[in-house]
């Protein structure tokens, strides 16, 4: 059985292995022991915290194979980015040049450094081990975050974003960053990516161009990848688009991958999540759902087949045990059949 739960101290070795396996471009999990342990501690404190409005909380979760007692994936939500540390993007814009006397009009695409997503919740750190990329497990791992947002909306920003991995080669080199490296930074993409991952963003403010960049002045290779996702990321962006997320012209400052966004209350998975009263029953139902208990510190989410009758949800004893709920307890559900 697969279960999503909050990360714990004992999960550090598994989290480090995920950081290694995820490779270049997975900025939120650098291979740094101190940082990963601080992330675990920060997440544990966030789940234990009473929250009235989102600040700098991190909700880092793991997907556990309960039979093997093995962590096989991870996902996370940053409650509100940019509160404690600057959160940068490039905003795609248009600069118009007109000369009525000469009858000339030119529109030039620009990239402007900004902090427009400050306060938004961010979905991040989604990774599933290859052996478990089957049976809709990836969709389960991604959608469970929307169920959590529905159950505890006060913990997350009103806008939800996801930074999609941009184009890079097998060595982790980004065509977009290669242009920035040549003209402004002098450090390679993996190094810049790592520094950002460990929270060292001072170099961005110090070395990033202070004026808008004309896209037409980029190398042809860099121009071609602005707003383009990595091939491995296409299934993830397709799922998010089905949930209502859209690209609104913001790209990552390192690899120019697109950032997609949606108002939290308009996300399909949030809108369709419902709270029920649990009834433990031996019979399996025909509704395939993601289930979530109402606890934060003892959070548990699973996939299950249940029966739903108005405000009552009937689930099997083994599923109730995994969720640590009993008859009459509240349970949140997101139907996967729709």
**Can you give the length of the chain in residues?**
338
In a domain, 108, yes or no: no
DSSP assignment of 232-268, as one string? Answer: GGHHHHHHHHHTT-EEEEEE-TTT--EEEEEEGGG-H
- Number of domains, the chain: 2
**Angstrom distances, CA of residue 85 to CA of 56, 78, 157:** 9, 12, 16
**Angstrom distances, CA of residue 59 to CA of 47, 105, 243:** 7, 49, 21
The predicted structure's pLDDT at residue 198: 59
Per-residue confidence in pLDDT tens, the chain, 338 aa: 999 999 999 999 999 999 988 866 566 788 889 889 999 999 999 999 999 999 999 999 999 999 999 999 999 999 999 998 888 899 999 999 888 988 899 899 999 999 999 999 999 999 999 999 999 999 999 999 999 999 999 999 999 999 998 998 877 788 998 898 888 877 776 677 666 665 666 667 676 777 899 999 999 999 999 999 998 889 999 999 999 999 999 999 889 999 999 999 999 999 999 999 999 988 768 889 999 999 999 999 999 999 999 999 999 999 999 999 999 999 999 999 76
| Cα dihedral sign, 294-300-303-307 | negative
In a domain, 218, yes or no: no
Q: Residue 294 is part of a domain; what is its CATH number?
A: 2.40.40.20
The predicted structure's pLDDT at residue 22: 82
Judge whether 5 and 292 are in contact, CB under 8 Å: no
The 10 Å CB-count burial string (b at 16+, else e) for 204-223 is beeebeeebbebeebeeebb
- How many other C-beta atoms lie within 10 A of the C-beta of residue 276? 21
| Residues labelled as active-site residues | 230
Looking at the structure, tell me whether residues 251 and 330 fall in a common domain: no
Looking at the structure, tell me whether residues 60 and 19 fall in a common domain: yes
Looking at the structure, tell me whether residues 250 and 306 fall in a common domain: no
Looking at the structure, tell me whether residues 230 and 288 fall in a common domain: no
Output phi, psi for 193, to 5 deg: -60, -45
Looking at the structure, tell me whether residues 322 and 195 fall in a common domain: no
Looking at the structure, tell me whether residues 66 and 129 fall in a common domain: yes
Which of 218, 247, 269 is at the close of a domain?
269
Looking at the structure, tell me whether residues 131 and 258 fall in a common domain: yes
Looking at the structure, tell me whether residues 261 and 279 fall in a common domain: no
In a domain, 209, yes or no: no
The predicted structure's pLDDT at residue 205: 66
Contacts 24+ apart (CB under 8 A), 283-288: 283/307, 283/314, 283/316, 284/316, 285/314, 285/315, 287/335, 287/337, 288/335, 288/336, 288/337
* Domain carrying residue 278: 273-335
Looking at the structure, tell me whether residues 8 and 130 fall in a common domain: yes
The predicted structure's pLDDT at residue 200: 61
Looking at the structure, tell me whether residues 241 and 299 fall in a common domain: no
In a domain, 211, yes or no: no
In a domain, 217, yes or no: no
Q: Residue 184 is part of a domain; what is its CATH number?
A: 3.40.630.30
Which of 248, 269, 290 is at the close of a domain?
269
Which of 214, 238, 269 is at the close of a domain?
269
Looking at the structure, tell me whether residues 48 and 169 fall in a common domain: yes
Looking at the structure, tell me whether residues 179 and 243 fall in a common domain: yes
In a domain, 263, yes or no: yes
In a domain, 256, yes or no: yes
* Block residue for tokens 């859209």: 246
């Amino acid at each position: 059985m697969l279960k999503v739960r909050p990360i714990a101290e004992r999960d550090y070795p598994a989290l480090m292995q995920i950081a290694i396996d995820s490779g270049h471009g997975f900025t939120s999990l650098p291979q740094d022991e101190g940082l990963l342990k601080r992330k675990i501690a920060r997440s544990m404190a966030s789940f234990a915290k009473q929250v009235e409005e989102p600040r700098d909380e991190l909700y880092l979760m793991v997907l556990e194979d309960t039979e093997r007692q093995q962590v096989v994936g991870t996902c996370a939500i940053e409650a509100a980015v940019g509160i404690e540390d600057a959160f940068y993007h490039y905003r795609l814009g248009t600069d118009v040049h007109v000369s009525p006397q000469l009858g000339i009009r030119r529109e030039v695409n620009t990239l402007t450094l900004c902090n427009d997503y400050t306060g938004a919740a961010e979905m991040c750190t989604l990774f599933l081990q290859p052996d478990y990329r089957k049976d809709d497990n990836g969709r389960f791992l991604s959608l469970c975050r929307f169920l959590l947002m529905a159950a505890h909306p006060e913990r997350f920003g009103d806008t939800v974003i996801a930074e999609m991995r941009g184009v890079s080669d097998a060595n982790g080199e980004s065509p977009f960053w290669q242009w920035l490296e040549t003209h402004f930074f002098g450090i390679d993409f993996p190094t810049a990516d790592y520094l950002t991952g460990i929270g060292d963003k001072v170099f961005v403010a110090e070395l990033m161009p202070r004026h808008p960049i004309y896209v037409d002045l980029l190398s042809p290779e860099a121009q071609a990848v602005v707003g383009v996702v990595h091939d491995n990321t296409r299934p993830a962006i397709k799922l998010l688009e089905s949930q209502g997320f859209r690209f609104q012209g913001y790209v990552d400052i390192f690899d120019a991958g697109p950032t997609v966004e949606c108002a939290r209350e308009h996300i399909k998975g949030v809108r369709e999540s419902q709270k029920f009263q649990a009834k433990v029953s031996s019979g399996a139902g025909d509704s395939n759902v993601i289930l979530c208990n109402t606890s934060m510190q003892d959070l548990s989410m699973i996939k299950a087949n249940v029966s739903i009758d108005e405000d009552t949800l009937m689930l099997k004893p083994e599923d109730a045990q995994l969720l640590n709920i009993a008859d009459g307890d509240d349970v949140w559900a997101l139907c996967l059949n729709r």
